[in-house]
């Protein structure tokens, strides 16, 4: 054991290799594998690997861990670049690898900061500072360059007892708890002292048993009647979605699948289900909405929304409630880089097909948009990528009775990406204790209850309609009220004094 620990903590290549493999191991803690103990083992290996290295070596080791995580966890990006962006395999691999290397820099920076400014003596402070800096890294990653809030550590506990803490502190709190415990369990010297061992065991019991008990706490209450819903999964191939020759077939397919179903309160079509600008297709949407309204049904659909002013035309990725007056619609705020807008557009646009994807010139919707109004209730709208931003989603959920997310994950084929996306939608339902309506083009279309349980779903790559019920909810979970601020304050109160003390000791 001592020899293994020396290799893990040593500054050489072996320690970096272990970190790389540990990062890849963490991917198995997320959907579809859900082996959450492996995520904690992965964190513990990185933590121990940083205990005796210099700041420069720590940056390499943290970067290696991050590369292992993202190379295994977001490799599905290759599919969208190669298959749908028409990039050659070498070019697609180069671009995917470049993104993964860039993302690994977040963990390189975290490791460097911890070793350079924070690495204190003592197992408890070391573990706590590492867990809080991990949280700070995830927060920074959700903001920098519009953010990439994917594979947060807390998602690994969507199905463990820790999930009960989600309404209290969101995915952030789950991550801090898990990282803290993983670090403490790796401090073997603690278990040579009975009192310290009892303290660690007590902390674990509070976290896990407390989470189990919190799963029985109702922070929100049902309001009004249950709504019947009809979610249309048309399963249209990405190669056909924006093909002008296929548009008529697409519109007729959604129309026919909708009319063939019994009446429900809500009919939901997925992201950009109508692949035509709103100004050109409004007659179609409003016509169907009017027919459905005669049966008491309300249509909600994804649609590109175009506006015109003195500055020209702007196009937004939108969601609208058909037939409502005044029109209830929402314009997406969190855009996907390269998929919905091209950074450095003047330089990159036209270089390769990947930078010319259909609808890759969306504008950002305005902030502080109100919830959608449908069937007498308020719905928090999240379009695709927006469902992975915890605080952003919480702000919308706090104003709403239901959550609705529409998506098109066909960009990522049969990879693990869409299943990771579904897991994040489950977490949003848990954090807000609200029902989540999730309509997608090719899966996974689902109804998720306030505990994050999938009540009904349509498998991927099937053309089908899901019919079920959801219950509007009122009330605020602690997370909806406070979001990440308590953890931000805690991190500042712990990390800044530790960094100052370390500086004074030099």
- Structure tokens belonging to residue 6: 């020396």
Helix, strand, coil tally for the chain in percent (to 5): 55, 15, 30
The DSSP-derived string for 194-227 is HHHHHHHHHHHHHHHHHHHHHTT---SEE-S--E
> With left for phi above 0 and alpha for psi between -120 and 50, is residue 33 left, alpha or beta?
alpha
Q: Which of 271, 329, 340, 431 is catalytic?
A: 271
User: Would residue 384 show up in a list of annotated catalytic residues for this protein?
Assistant: yes
H or E element at residue 480? helix 478-482
Residue 302, classed as helix, strand or coil, is strand
Cα end-to-end span (Å), the chain? 32
Rg value, the chain, Cα: 24
Instruction: Indicate the Cα dihedral angle 82, 85, 90, 94, nearest 10°.
Output: -110
Largest CA distance in the chain: 76
- Structure tokens belonging to residue 415: 């990879």
CA atoms of 338 and 100, how far apart (whole Å):
15
CA atoms of 171 and 167, how far apart (whole Å):
9
| Residues shown for the chain | 506
Q: Which of 241, 332, 334, 378 is catalytic?
A: 332
Long-range pairs, 185-189, Cβ under 8 A, ≥24: 185/40, 185/44, 186/44, 186/45, 186/47, 186/48, 187/123, 187/126, 187/127, 189/123
CA atoms of 501 and 422, how far apart (whole Å):
43
User: Would residue 225 show up in a list of annotated catalytic residues for this protein?
Assistant: no
Cβ count within 10 A of residue 351: 10
H or E element at residue 474? strand 473-474
Among residues 406, 423, 412, 427, the alpha carbon closest in space to that of 461 is found at 412
User: Would residue 340 show up in a list of annotated catalytic residues for this protein?
Assistant: no
328-331 and 312-322 beta bridge pairing:
antiparallel
Residue 311, classed as helix, strand or coil, is coil
CA atoms of 487 and 210, how far apart (whole Å):
18
Q: Which of 183, 334, 340, 384 is catalytic?
A: 384
Active site residues: 271, 332, 384
């Amino acid at each position: 054991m001592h020899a293994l620990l020396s290799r893990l903590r040593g500054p050489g290549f072996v320690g970096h290799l272990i970190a790389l493999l540990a990062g890849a191991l963490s991917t198995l803690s997320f959907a579809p594998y859900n082996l959450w103990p492996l995520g904690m083992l992965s964190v513990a290996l990185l933590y121990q690997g940083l205990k005796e290295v210099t700041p420069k070596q720590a940056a390499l080791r943290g970067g290696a861990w991050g590369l292992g995580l993202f190379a295994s966890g977001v490799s599905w990006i290759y599919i969208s670049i190669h298959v749908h962006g028409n990039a050659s395999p070498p070019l697609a691999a180069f671009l995917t690898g470049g993104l993964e290397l860039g993302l690994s820099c977040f963990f390189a920076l975290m490791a460097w900061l911890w070793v350079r400014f924070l690495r204190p003596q003592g197992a408890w402070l070391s573990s706590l500072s590492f867990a809080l800096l991990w949280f700070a890294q995830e927060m920074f990653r959700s903001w920098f360059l519009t953010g990439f809030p994917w594979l947060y550590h807390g998602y690994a506990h969507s199905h463990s007892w820790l999930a009960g803490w989600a309404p209290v502190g969101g995915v952030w709190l789950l991550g801090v708890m898990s990282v803290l415990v993983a670090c403490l369990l790796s401090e073997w010297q603690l278990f040579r002292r009975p009192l310290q061992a009892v303290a660690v065991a007590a902390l674990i019991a509070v976290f896990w048993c407390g989470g189990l008990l919190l799963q029985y706490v109702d922070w929100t209450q049902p309001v009004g009647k249950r709504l019947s819903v009809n979610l249309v999964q048309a399963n249209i191939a990405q190669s056909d979605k924006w093909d002008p020759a296929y548009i008529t077939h697409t519109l007729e397919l959604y129309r026919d699948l909708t009319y063939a179903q019994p009446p429900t309160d809500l009919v939901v079509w997925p992201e950009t289900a109508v692949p035509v600008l709103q100004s050109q297709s409004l007659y179609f949407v409003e016509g169907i909405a009017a027919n459905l309204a005669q049966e008491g049904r309300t249509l909600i659909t994804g649609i590109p929304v175009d506006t015109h002013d003195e500055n020209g035309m702007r196009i937004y990725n939108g969601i609208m409630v058909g037939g409502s007056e005044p029109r209830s619609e929402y314009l997406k705020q969190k855009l996907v880089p390269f998929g919905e807008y091209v950074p450095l557009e003047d330089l990159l646009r036209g270089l390769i097909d990947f930078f010319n994807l259909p609808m890759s010139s969306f504008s950002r919707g305005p902030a502080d948009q109100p919830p959608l109004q449908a069937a007498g209730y308020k719905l928090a709208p999240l379009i695709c990528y927006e469902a992975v931003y915890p605080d952003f989603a919480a702000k919308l959920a706090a104003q709403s009775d239901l959550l609705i997310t529409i998506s098109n994950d066909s960009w990522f084929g049969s990879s693990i990406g869409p299943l990771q996306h579904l897991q994040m939608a489950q977490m949003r339902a848990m954090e807000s204790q609200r029902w989540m309506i999730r309509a997608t083009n090719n899966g996974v279309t689902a109804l998720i209850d306030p505990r994050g349980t999938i009540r009904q779903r349509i498998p991927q790559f099937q053309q089908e309609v899901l019919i079920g019920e959801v219950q509007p909810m009122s009330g605020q979970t602690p997370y909806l009220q406070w979001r990440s601020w308590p953890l931000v304050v805690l991190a500042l109160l712990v990390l800044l004094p530790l960094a100052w003390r370390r500086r004074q000791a030099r």
